[in-house]
Structure 1
């Protein structure tokens, strides 16, 4: 359940906060200056289900490229800026729907004020981001190291600074690669911050370790009703971030839609290459526009029909052949090599049934 007291914030054509659903975000890993490459990646991410995209803006050329990128995409674009306040101003002028800054590394108060005034002029939100790795020395000394309390104090200090400049169109992000520290920090800040929270486990790792750490951390945080946008940060193809984010939200009941694939673990009764088949099915369903359908992939014909009875449709493998199952009932038997395509055709024609 979302925190209803959270302020609503508009990012382009997406509204977050309040009772709005948790939005899925990712970040491009192309050079933003390369407009074609960046646009192509964003379009692929859109198709996968990304709802907000962030691009790094390390140069003035990257800031100026945003206007060209914006013309060719359909989701809000967030400009990620560090150190140089002039890049933040240029990004806003070139159409960024939101900017992400850490006021602590932008420079003195006057420079932060210039960014705030430009955001106010264009009416776009500022995401105040603080990572555990960039915690100020004074707060590290105060709390005896990097702590959840220190991260929260740092973030709120920066929020209050921008509020003092007469601006409250804000989103807040506090991240750590330490999962339990990140959880505690979100629990603390949720009690004091009225603004939408962007949640993620930063530097979580590769597709394997990053998915596990993100699922645990995001699961605990979101289950408490904390968080309005999420990113599953992975060292890998950004498309994997979207797949994982959708599955996390669906598993928690925060998002419906799409096709859910369930599969049994392998055992001595398995008479088919279940691992390969399950992965093929998971990949195959990505481009099929069905909502709230559960597909089961079972390894044997002995228990397959019974285990798949809660699924809408499923397949179970045998020796050189397999079964097509609907609601636990065997529909037909097909050759092993025809299983995948048979399932695909059934799903493609699902709406006609």
Structure 2
């Protein structure tokens, strides 16, 4: 089990829930745009958010952003440790540095002193795109990825700094898995999981679900980010669904059949229409295309419909309640989800 850290209002590691992260893709110095995106992410379920800090203006903008948002802000730093120090002084709750490009040890030591004074955590985040050549020559890529992070951790520890989160990300699923397994055997710091440069929506969903899901099932990982080339809100939604699928989060879900020639209703359209409402109300709702297997396969759901030639049968906990016409399916389901959740046993 990992040790527990407190980052602003979040407890990370130990027996605490796995924390969902994302990263803004706005220019950090465009404060209002960044605040809007952070609030959108928070509404979707994001619990920590990372912002890029490529320059002094971005670092100083954190102070203004912090006044308008309610989740911890992580400053993402590359190359210039002075930007990390400025971000800390501007109110960043955590700093992320990359062992591949932060520079000589004295810079890390100087950063550690300031972070310690301000009570700010540091995430040492290595990735496959910035491995040192001597590490690649000495180790296989997964081990090189892990050792790059561990070397930076050792420098921080020599400074008496232990408020550390560690991550090792590759764009390759197997390398990511092996690197994090290696790290988990060496240290007990909280581990941040993700597949870097995972690609667009479908590719990222597959790669992230495999790597993150596998590691979480092995008890490795305390916080996650699904990286998508696109809207970061989608990252949060997928992360939530990964945790829910592993029974690490409890929230509502729609279960829906894959459809076949027996299908009598538009399963996909109905499921998509009610999905957000179902998740919000913490129910399981089944949308099944026909009655052949529909009622049996959806029998564990709180509410369900199974298509018939003339409409659908409505069932609760596997028991048929009534039949409804096709044009009323969404309306009936919505009413039950909104008004009857407290009566479902």
TM-score above 0.5: yes
Distance change in 2, residues 1:91/1:320 (3 Å): farther
Specify the alignment match of 2:186 in structure 1: 192
| 1:321-332 pair list within 5 angstroms | 321-332=311-322
Specify the alignment match of 2:160 in structure 1: 166
**Residue 108 of structure 1: CA displacement?**
2.3
The count of residues paired between Structure 1 and Structure 2 equals 343
Q: Deviations over 1:162-220 (max 9, x none)?
A: 11122111000100111111111111111111210001111111111111111111111
Specify the alignment match of 1:82 in structure 2: 78
Query: Which of 13, 16, 34 is equivalent to 1:20?
Result: 16
Q: Deviations over 1:5-63 (max 9, x none)?
A: x1211111001111111111111111111111111111121121111111111121111
Specify the alignment match of 2:329 in structure 1: 339
Specify the alignment match of 1:203 in structure 2: 197
Specify the alignment match of 2:55 in structure 1: 59
On the 8 A contact 1:149/1:185 being kept in 2, the answer is yes
| 1:115-194 pair list within 5 angstroms | 115-143=111-139, 147-194=141-188
1: CA distance, partners of 2:127 / 2:338: 44
TM-score normalised by the chain length of structure 1: 0.93
On the 8 A contact 1:83/1:105 being kept in 2, the answer is yes
RMSD over equivalenced CA pairs, Å: 1.5
Specify the alignment match of 1:315 in structure 2: 305
On the 8 A contact 1:272/1:320 being kept in 2, the answer is no
Q: Deviations over 1:210-266 (max 9, x none)?
A: 11111111111111100010111112211211121111112112222x211111111
Q: Deviations over 1:96-152 (max 9, x none)?
A: 000101244122222222211111110110000100111101011112xx5111111
Specify the alignment match of 1:225 in structure 2: 219
Unaligned runs of 5+ in 1: none
On the 8 A contact 2:303/2:316 being kept in 1, the answer is yes
On the 8 A contact 2:254/2:286 being kept in 1, the answer is yes
2: CA distance, partners of 1:68 / 1:335: 54
Query: Which of 274, 285, 290 is equivalent to 1:300?
Result: 290
**Residue 280 of structure 1: CA displacement?**
2.1
On the 8 A contact 1:24/1:52 being kept in 2, the answer is yes
**Residue 320 of structure 1: CA displacement?**
5.2
Q: Secondary structure at the match of 1:18?
A: coil
Specify the alignment match of 1:273 in structure 2: 266
2: CA distance, partners of 1:303 / 1:160: 57
Q: Secondary structure at the match of 1:191?
A: helix
2: CA distance, partners of 1:50 / 1:337: 36
2: CA distance, partners of 1:37 / 1:343: 37
**Residue 284 of structure 1: CA displacement?**
4.0
**Residue 88 of structure 1: CA displacement?**
0.6
Does residue 94 of structure 1 match 2:90?
yes
Distance change in 2, residues 1:336/1:205 (3 Å): same
Does residue 264 of structure 1 match 2:261?
no
TM-score normalised by the chain length of structure 2: 0.95
Specify the alignment match of 1:236 in structure 2: 230
Q: Secondary structure at the match of 1:43?
A: helix
2: CA distance, partners of 1:203 / 1:89: 27
Q: Deviations over 1:321-343 (max 9, x none)?
A: 22322111222322322211221
On the 8 A contact 1:104/1:158 being kept in 2, the answer is no
Q: Secondary structure at the match of 2:252?
A: strand
